[in-house]
Amino acid sequence: MAEKEMLELPVRGMDCAECTLHVRKALASLPGVENVEVFLAAEKAVVRFDPQLANLQSMRQVVEQAGYSIPEVAGAQEQVPEDQTSRWSDFTRPVLTLLGVVFGAVLFIVVVGEWLGLFEAITRRVPWPVGAAVVLLAGYPVLRNVVRAALQKQVIAHTLMSLGVAAALVVGEWATAAVIVFFMRVGDYVEHFTAERARRAVRDLTRMAPKTARIERDGVEIEIPVEQVQPGEAVIVRPGEMIPVDGEVLSGQATVNQASITGESMPVEAEAGARVFAASLVQMGMLRVRATQVGADTTFGRVIRLVEQAEANRAEVQRVADRFSGYYLPVVVGVAALTFLLRRDPLATAAVLVVACSCSFALATPIAMLASIGAGARRGLMIKGGKYLELLAKADVLLIDKTGTLTTGKAEIVEMQFLADDLEALALAAAAERYSEHPLAEAVRAAAQGRGLSPETPEDFTAIPGLGVRATVRGRRVEVGNRRMLSGDVSLALELAAAAQRLEAQGETLVYVAVDGELAGVLAAADRLRPEVPQAIQALCKLGIRKVELLTGDNERVAGALAGQLEAQLCEGMQFSYRANLLPEDKIEVVKAYQAQGHTVVMVGDGVNDAPALAQADVGLAMGAAGSDVAIEAAHIALMRDDWLLVPEVVHIARRTMGVVKLNIAFTAVYNLVGLSLAALGFLPPIFAAAAQSLPDLGILANSSRLIRQAEMKADETG
């Protein structure tokens, strides 16, 4: 059996969701094609096929027969000039204004002309063959696609309008047919313009990707295409240049703007040992970076790929709209046939066919979804599809992991109690912990350094898992660890015993320090609540989240102390609870229990040890996912930086997006129902029906443009 191959094909000419369906059907009809995914925003198809049965030439042929095209250079990312990607934003308002003026002027001329009988006079004076030729010439691009679809036994959005054009020509109303064709072309332009607005976010991301890299080979610096960089090679990045790879800084120091990855406009300082990401901008300084991931394997490459493929995870509301579109066209044909049988009026029948607008249903959902997903990516919000925006919009339960998510994940010494010389005991403790990799050891060393103490080198060192460390420092025996670590003959002085009891009641983790068999002090360590969490919780309450539960593997005492801090931030009507001593599998069961009760569950975790629970939740949000393959893959939405304010932001985006989608669908449904009724009863002549057919597309564009504009303004704050 031949091994299957994957091929990415750029497809041109797609302007709505219906177009992607036609391309998918055309490619899937080929022998040997196993799976096809077509993406409107990325303008490409991903095909899995048997190379012995299918090839690029056959794919190009069936796509062209469907009315679309595959460029000769397939498989490579087509470069789009910067001015082309930006013009849809820079000139949106002037273009919409001009379109509205032209549309209004033509509509006025049509109304006045029909009222004065000008069209009838023109029809009488101009020979029918001449008028028909004008109609066919003006409508050739649209009519050609209709004929192609008909030959493949497909019905597309313009099929019904084309039948209306044919009906008008048959009864001799070529002027009416010409007006219908004009509005068909207007509708095409509106759909194309709207699709381009949605594609802008993807193109902006693609344009940010570095194209070349300066590397060291055989002691010489050379500049090569970024695809040719090999992992392990040293890459040189100078001021004002984009880092072309993910990697580790070997030498140098620089200020790096990572907004393209994390959405955070504040730059970070990078020096030897730091991790850096492709598409980050070196603002000041120079870096020498060892490449670890290149091209599509970088964090930025995965961001682009996930945004492009987000269409695959379609919202249920979009699936309903697609199914409705499939039933809508036969219903319209039935209404037209019934109109002709009952009224024997070919013009009324033509009006029914002309006024029907199925493409508006297909446009109602994906344009808003793609705009929000693309703009969200620029804000550091990796949303994997409209499905998760829809679920997030109706979420009512929020489950939160503690360590590394709700808290910083980094222990800090928050209080110290010593019997005698505190600096001496702290210096000995830091020296004993010098070679320990435990997070609490790092906290002890940081506390010593914060007081100007440099950890000495111990003469011997022993780490005891689960307890602490023993070491000899300056000839003195030092023990640092939990209460069980202390030797049996070490007793707590009364003042230290009281301090330990108080600190434990506050939920702090205690680190005991003993020197030469005598207790010298107690250090209290805590994993701090992220400072932005209270504000985020308040924002989530306003967005309608009514149940919050903290899930942690910590003990009851630590969990209770943190829960007390959170409860003080809750708004009226918000319920809060916590569960301690949980294993990863326990968190999954908690998620399942809420889902069984009919709740829509959002789980926020760090994406590593919480991966199973994130996957089980209706929407899993991974915090601080930049550079983490596990977090990006496990979560439905990846927050690329550790900022809790991104949580209410993405919930707000979801609810705003679904509001726009529902308004689009409701407007389209009501408009088409009224239009069909008026046309069938003879109150809407074909000319007015043609004008009316374009209005739903304009309405959807206007409504979705409001969302697109807001998303772009928010995204531009990081630029």
- Per DSSP, 625 falls in state -
Are 404 and 555 a contacting pair, CB within 8 Å?
Answer: no
Q: Where are the beta strands (DSSP E) in 53-182?
A: none
Q: Is the dihedral of CA 126, 129, 132, 136 positive or negative?
A: negative
Question: CA 214, CA 221: separation in Å to the nearest integer?
Answer: 6
As given in the structure block, the two tokens for residue 710 are 């807001």
Question: CA 548, CA 599: separation in Å to the nearest integer?
Answer: 12
3-state secondary structure of 190: helix
β-strands 268-270, 281-293 pairing: unpaired
Question: CA 435, CA 460: separation in Å to the nearest integer?
Answer: 10
Which residues neighbour 600 within 8 Å (Cβ) at sequence distance 6 or greater?
391, 394, 395, 396, 397, 618, 619
3-state secondary structure of 212: strand
Q: Is the dihedral of CA 463, 468, 474, 477 positive or negative?
A: negative
As given in the structure block, the two tokens for residue 607 are 């994406």
As given in the structure block, the two tokens for residue 15 are 């302007």
- Sheet containing 601-605: order of strands: 381-383, 637-639, 619-623, 601-605, 397-401, 547-551, 575-579
Are 36 and 47 a contacting pair, CB within 8 Å?
Answer: yes
Question: Residues, the chain, total?
Answer: 719
As given in the structure block, the two tokens for residue 317 are 């509301």
Q: Where are the beta strands (DSSP E) in 484-531?
A: 509-515, 518-529
**In degrees to the nearest 10, what's the CA dihedral of 122, 128, 132, 133?**
-100
Question: CA 23, CA 65: separation in Å to the nearest integer?
Answer: 10
Burial 428-441 (b: 16+ CB within 10 A, else e): bbbbbbbebebebb
Q: Which of 199, 713, 627 is nearest to 638 (CA)?
A: 627
Residue corresponding to tokens 């492009």? 308
Element (DSSP H or E) covering residue 507? none
Element (DSSP H or E) covering residue 485? none
Q: Which of 202, 213, 132 is nearest to 165 (CA)?
A: 132
- Sheet containing 518-529: order of strands: 407-418, 518-529, 509-515, 476-481, 468-473, 460-464
As given in the structure block, the two tokens for residue 142 are 């649209």
As given in the structure block, the two tokens for residue 454 are 């440099």
Question: Residue 368 to residues 328, 652, 682: CA-CA distances in angstroms?
Answer: 22, 14, 35
Element (DSSP H or E) covering residue 618? none
Are 159 and 358 a contacting pair, CB within 8 Å?
Answer: no
Residue by residue, DSSP assigns 629-692 as HHHHHH-SEEESSS-TTHHHHHHHHHHHHHHHHHHHHHHHHHHHHHHHHHHHTT-S-HHHHHHH
Catalytic residue among 401, 610, 643, 697: 401
- Per DSSP, 402 falls in state I
Give rounded-to-5 percent helix, strand, coil for the chain.
Answer: 55, 20, 25
Burial 34-44 (b: 16+ CB within 10 A, else e): eebbbbbbbbb
Residue by residue, DSSP assigns 564-579 as HHHHTTPPTT-EEEEE
3-state secondary structure of 290: strand
- Per DSSP, 297 falls in state G
Asked if 401 is an active-site residue, the reply is: yes
Question: Any idea which residues carry the catalytic annotation?
Answer: 401
